[in-house]
Amino acid sequence: MPELPEVETVRRVLEERLRGLRITAYKLGQPTFYRRPPDLKHLIGSTVEFVRRRGKYLVVGVSGRRELVLHLGMSGRLAFGAAGPHLRFQLMLQGEILGFHDARRFGRVGCPLPELGPEPLDSCFDPAYLHKALHDRKAPIKALLMDQRIVAGIGNIYATESLFQAGIKPRRPAGRLSKPEMARLVKAIKTVLRRAVKLGGSTLEDAAYLDPLGRPGRFQKRVSVYGRSVGACGHALKATRKPISGRTSLFCPICQK
């Protein structure tokens, strides 16, 4: 699933290409990814004023203080142009067509924003906040980092990388982390995410993620742990005995205690 760096990369491209354009029509593909297709007729004729990101969600703000919310789901991809496989939705604008391609149909267009925690790159996401949010929690720290109600935008890739950078084992009960460990973890999260955004996110072997111009991310070439058998530290990696939040979790038994 695209995480904060991938969605932020998409947002920047959309902001540059769509801002100031008028929405002229929309079209649902077949089969759509909806049981009840959204009614977006009220957006026709409005002008795109901004594109922002909230966690893993994209929010297209248009004139009249209205918004169009999109979520890429597991395999969703936004791309300019009318053609392509698994086309589920098209947004027509002056001189542009934006298509939503989604092989697994977990993406959403016109959905509401759920309850989300703070943005990890904002100043309010700090050690004090994380300590307060996690101090009495027994769940593994990695599971709670991927809980969007605690912090928005982090998934399997960047939780894995951040915990390695902070030297914390993914199955550690969150409430047992010390304040210095919380501080290291917050710093690691911000460092990893900023680096990933700078590199355009991560495109894995299945190439499910490309930005709207068809460009892959480059962070996967710089990962320390995710998808590797030997960490950047030079030690052999291990997987946790049980998946965490349904995901295999790699860690270094030497560097992460």
* Residue of 2, 5, 118, 170 marked active site: 2
**Is residue 223 situated within a structural domain?**
yes
Query: What is the count of structural domains for the chain?
Result: 2
Which of 74, 109, 144 represents a domain boundary (last residue)?
Answer: 109
> Contact, 240 vs 246, CB < 8 A?
no
Q: What is the pLDDT of residues 73-93, one digit of tens each?
A: 998 999 998 777 899 999 999
Instruction: Determine the pLDDT at residue 63.
Output: 97
**Is residue 225's pLDDT more than 70?**
yes
* Residue of 12, 137, 238, 247 marked active site: 247
> Can you give the pTM of this predicted structure?
0.96
Residue 233, helix vs strand vs coil: coil
Mean pLDDT, residues 135-148 taken together: 97
Percent of the chain with pLDDT over 70: 99
Q: How far apart are CA 139 and CA 142, in angstroms?
A: 8
- pLDDT averaged over the chain? 95
Q: What is the pLDDT of residues 191-223, one digit of tens each?
A: 999 999 999 999 987 667 999 999 999 999 999
Q: Residue 35 — pLDDT band, cuts 50, 70, 90?
A: confident
Residues 138 and 244 reside in one and the same domain:
yes
Residues 140 and 219 reside in one and the same domain:
yes
> Contact, 58 vs 7, CB < 8 A?
yes
Residues 145 and 231 reside in one and the same domain:
yes
The CA radius of gyration of the chain, in Å to the nearest whole number, is: 19
**Is residue 114 situated within a structural domain?**
no
Angle between helices 179-198 and 127-134 (to 10 degrees): 120
Residues 57 and 155 reside in one and the same domain:
no
Question: Active-site residue 2, yes or no?
Answer: yes
Instruction: Name which of 102, 99, 4 is nearest 57 in CA terms.
Output: 4
* Residue of 53, 56, 77, 169 marked active site: 56
Residues 151 and 92 reside in one and the same domain:
no
Q: What is the pLDDT of residues 177-186, one digit of tens each?
A: 999 999 999 9
| Cα angle, residue 13 at apex, residues 8 and 18 outer, rounded to 5° | 120
Tell me the sheet residues that pair with 89.
Answer: 28, 100
Question: Active-site residue 247, yes or no?
Answer: yes
Angle between helices 156-166 and 179-198 (to 10 degrees): 130
Q: Which structural domain range is residue 42 located in?
A: 4-109
> Contact, 158 vs 4, CB < 8 A?
yes
Q: How far apart are CA 205 and CA 221, in angstroms?
A: 11
Mean pLDDT, residues 42-57 taken together: 97
**Is residue 122 situated within a structural domain?**
no
**Mean pLDDT highest for which of 30-39, 98-107, 207-216?**
98-107
Instruction: Determine the pLDDT at residue 207.
Output: 63
Q: Residue 257 — pLDDT band, cuts 50, 70, 90?
A: confident
Instruction: Determine the pLDDT at residue 40.
Output: 95
CATH number at residue 222: 1.10.8.50
Which of 67, 82, 109 represents a domain boundary (last residue)?
Answer: 109
Q: Residue 30 — pLDDT band, cuts 50, 70, 90?
A: confident
Instruction: Determine the pLDDT at residue 206.
Output: 67
Residues 96 and 57 reside in one and the same domain:
yes
CATH number at residue 90: 3.20.190.10
